[in-house]
Amino acid sequence: MNTSLQAALDLMRPEPSILRPTAASRIYDDLRQRILSLDLPPGTNLLRAELAKDYEVSQTPLRDALQRLDQDGLVKIYPQSRTLVTRIDVPQLNEALFLRRALETEVVLGLARAKVPETVVRARAVIAMQRAVAEEGTQLRKFQQLDEYFHFILFEGLGREALHALLRSRSGHLDRVRRLQRHSEEKLQQILQGHTAIIDAIEAGDEARAIHEIRDHTYKPEDWADEYRILHKDYFA
């Protein structure tokens, strides 16, 4: 992976502005990524003693990290018993989709009204990196990470990083289903075309087109997760 791509992926980490994260934040970030990537699949029992040993920390920062993951809906803490990675909850997944469309519609509307040449340049750079990854054909995980970074740039361009953090905290179930997807080359090109169309509309200051493009890009039918629930029954609640 080239340096610019790695830099982009690094910036996508939760709370990227923190230069010296606390032990709890470091554990939270790492466990969250492992859960979202399905390296820790739904139903996994998180053994606190083993985690404390792996991260070389006491129980206090580990407890704080797990409580944050519990708030995100990614783990379920059973006091004095165990902590399990939650199974994917379809109603919560659909709520995250609704929230995403609502927030991103307002974000692109604001960007289309503003003069944001730097945001446009950065977004086009990410699209170019996505295109390069798509051409490799074996880097779907990196493509998805860049997809998330593209959308972060839109929020950042409007100064709405806090809203992006809110969205991310509510999107754990959605993100895990996205990791189950195996996009065809045609689908990857469709995503790239959608990103390009969004940025073209923002750069042109075309508010109506920007709204149309983001809503079209983020639309999913209510039953879109059914095929993944059938293929991965143990992952779903």
Q: Using one digit for the tens of pLDDT, what is the confidence trace for 185-217?
A: 888 999 999 999 999 999 999 999 999 999 999
CB pairs under 8 A, 24+ apart, for 71-76? 71/169, 72/32, 72/169, 72/170, 72/172, 73/170, 73/172, 73/173, 74/32, 74/35, 74/36, 74/172, 75/35, 75/46
Q: How confident is the model at residue 222 (pLDDT cuts 50, 70, 90)?
A: confident
Residues 75 and 142 in one domain: no
pLDDT in tens, 46-57: 999 999 999 999
- Looking at residue 179, its pLDDT comes to 87
What's the CATH number where 76 sits?
Answer: 1.10.10.10
Do 72 and 184 share a domain, yes or no? Answer: no
Q: Which of 85, 101, 127 is the last residue of a domain?
A: 85
Task: Please check whether residues 204 and 134 belong to one and the same domain.
Answer: yes
Which residues have a Cβ under 8 Å from the Cβ of 145 and sit 6 or more positions away?
A: 9, 12
Q: Does residue 35 sit in the same domain as residue 107? A: no
* 167/157 Cα distance (integer angstroms): 16
Same domain as 208, residue 150:
yes
For the cut 60, the answer to whether the pLDDT of residue 106 exceeds it is: yes
Please give the sequence-ordered ranges of beta strands (E in DSSP) within the chain, or none if there are none: 75-78, 82-85
Q: How many CB atoms lie within 10 A of CB 103?
A: 19
Range of the domain at 197: 90-235
pTM of the model: 0.85
Residues 114 and 230 in one domain: yes
Residues 94 and 205 in one domain: yes
In the chain, the N- to C-terminal Cα span, in Å, equals 36
Count structural domains, the chain: 2
